[in-house]
Structure 1
Amino acid sequence: MNKKIGLFFGTFNPIHVGHLIIANHMAEFSDLDEVWLVVTPHNPHKKKSSLLENHHRLEMVYKACEGYEHLSPSNVEFGLPQPNYTSVTLAHLQERHPTNRFCLIMGEDNLKTFHKWKNYEVILENHEIYVYPRISGGKVENEFRDHPKITRVNAPRVEISSTFIRSAVQDGKFVKPMLPHAVWDYIKLMNFYQ
């Protein structure tokens, strides 16, 4: 069956309710059939030392997606050479699932620097991009502003960051409302970010 699948990439360290709100909004209020939350093993722009192990972050995404019919966790990048790039992941998925159409989901802040991504022209040639607004995003005033392959989705603006959550947990703060309950329970059980 032909499906249009949105790929929402992140380190998800940890996944929080902001991620779920965006992913679910894209699945319910755009023409995407599903959203896959792709856990990235190592973003070339982030320090690896602050990341939990891959399987723990994937487990939290599994727990967060429970009960969401159109959201699925994905570990597709775990088996690809590192550091990995989005263009490689897209090509790999398209090869494995030729009947599906894969689209990127990104915040407006990422769109501003999209022209610096490896093979960004190839991505735009072969895939659509769904952009959600960010309070800190600002206006995109480059070639992507009115691009026919870029769709803006008026999703809720959620400014919760995994960095803030990690820091708050380390400081002994109660941040359960910012996390799916099963993720909060897992973080407490495993003593993560202490």
Structure 2
Amino acid sequence: MSFQDKERKKIGIFGGTFDPVHTVHLIVAEQAREALGLDEVWFMPAHIPPHKLEKHITADCHRLAMLERAIQGNENFCATAIELDKKDDKPSYTYDTILSLKAKHPNVDFYFIIGGDMVEYLPKWHRIEELVSLVQFVALARPGYSMQNEYTDRVIEVEMPQLDVSSTIIRHKAFSGESIRYLVPESVRLYIEENGLYES
């Protein structure tokens, strides 16, 4: 993921826990890529999300492995372990990650993709004033969530198909022994079964 030429690239960063990655993650990433003319979308699993400090999260190695299987075959998608490679147990702050990415890739314009439900929380993000000057935020429009706050004019809104699938639903189904076929890519479903993830 390094660009040697002088031409600037447009890269979308899609962060999340991806526990597990599911079909809708892939759909919205592709929709955002096309709508914004992005060269690539990098899926970035979080190590310790600040808003989920009290929740159990599946081991980093499993979440990354599922991501790599899910995006296999799409040359415009890749997974980055930049946050997983942190060796401490401190929360993953987007500000620190973006600074690191921009230092490593000076010829890239980064677009940080978030769900529309996260826009209302932007004022609470770590060092948000500096962050909005470093990266272009992109919000995936979802009904029922407020997109209005002091940072709204710094966010590009992208219309998305409204598909109600979440990692929480998938974990609950897997825990209950219910089918998750087609909710996740087949390679991910097989990985979950082979490794006994989310079982009761």
TM-score (norm 1): 0.93
SS, match of residue 33 in structure 2: helix
Aligned partner of 1:130 in structure 2 is 138
Aligned partner of 1:175 in structure 2 is 180
Aligned partner of 2:67 in structure 1 is 61
Equivalent residue pairs, number: 191
Unmatched runs of 5 consecutive residues or more in structure 2: 1-6
Aligned partner of 1:28 in structure 2 is 34
Aligned partner of 1:71 in structure 2 is 77
- Show CA shifts across 1:128-159 (max 9, x none): 111111234x23222233x1x32111121222
Aligned partner of 2:19 in structure 1 is 13
Aligned partner of 1:184 in structure 2 is 189
CA contact (8 A) 2:71 2:78 kept: yes
The alpha-carbon deviation at position 101 of structure 1 amounts to 1.2
Query: After the TM superposition, which of the residue ranges 94-103 and 26-35 deviates more from structure 2?
Result: 26-35
Query: After the TM superposition, which of the residue ranges 43-52 and 172-181 deviates more from structure 2?
Result: 43-52
The alpha-carbon deviation at position 117 of structure 1 amounts to 0.3
State how far apart, in whole Å, the 2-side matches of 1:69 and 1:157 are.
Answer: 25
CA contact (8 A) 1:27 1:71 kept: no
State how far apart, in whole Å, the 1-side matches of 2:138 and 2:38 are.
Answer: 9
The alpha-carbon deviation at position 47 of structure 1 amounts to 4.3
CA contact (8 A) 1:134 1:159 kept: no
Aligned partner of 1:140 in structure 2 is 147
CA contact (8 A) 2:119 2:146 kept: no
Q: Identity of paired residues, percent?
A: 32
TM-score (norm 2): 0.90
State how far apart, in whole Å, the 1-side matches of 2:83 and 2:72 are.
Answer: 21
Misfit runs of 4+, over 4 Å: none
- 1:79-98 alignment runs, 5 A limit: 79-80=85-86, 81=88, 82-98=90-106
Aligned partner of 2:56 in structure 1 is 50
Is residue 109 of structure 1 aligned with residue 109 of structure 2? no
State how far apart, in whole Å, the 1-side matches of 2:197 and 2:53 are.
Answer: 17
The alpha-carbon deviation at position 25 of structure 1 amounts to 1.0
State how far apart, in whole Å, the 1-side matches of 2:137 and 2:120 are.
Answer: 13
Query: After the TM superposition, which of the residue ranges 9-18 and 45-54 deviates more from structure 2?
Result: 45-54
State how far apart, in whole Å, the 1-side matches of 2:133 and 2:177 are.
Answer: 47
CA contact (8 A) 2:98 2:134 kept: no
RMSD: 1.4
